Amino acid sequence: MIDYKIATLTDMDLLMASRLEMLKVVNDLPEDYVFSDELVNESRKYFEDGDQTTVLAIDDGKVIGCATICYIRMMPTFSHPSGKRAHLMNVYTCKEYRRQGIAKKMVRMLIEDAWIRGATEISLDATESGRPLYESLGFTDSDECMVLTKK
């Protein structure tokens, strides 16, 4: 039976292991890939200090899925008078557990958390394989956003 839990600081080892596994898989990195100290340390610091909620899916003591929602406070606007927004990221399920509704359950938990916290919008960056999941939960494409990345 799969257990779902909102991670706490006592789950730091599970949080870090699931994050690094997810990064290896989605970036097609070798199993023995070594992450930079900066990425590892900043990820740990974010889990410790960041305004976020992470759900872990656990089967027989092993993390088989994770998903995180990060909270962002921006200047209030007419469409977002509280200024509270959220960004969903790192939704991941181990290959052998996919297509069983695990990711959907985790994302639903995080959507509920976002609404309780007063967020008025949840954004995400979707892969092509993830789009059907997010669309089934009501997410739609947006033409409002432009980005500039540091080179």
Mean pLDDT by 10 residues, the chain (151 residues): 95 93 92 96 93 96 95 89 92 94 97 94 89 93 73 82
Is the Cβ–Cβ distance between 84 and 116 less than 8 Å? no
pLDDT value at residue 126: 86
Name the fold adopted by 2-136. Answer: Aminopeptidase (3.40.630)
pTM: 0.89
The structure tokens 């469409």 sit at 79
Residue from 109, 22, 30 nearest 64 by CA: 22
pLDDT at 16: 94
Check if the beta carbon of residue 87 is closer than 8 Å to that of residue 69. Answer: yes
How far from each other are the two terminal CA atoms of the chain, in whole angstroms? Answer: 45
Q: What is the pLDDT of residue 142?
A: 80
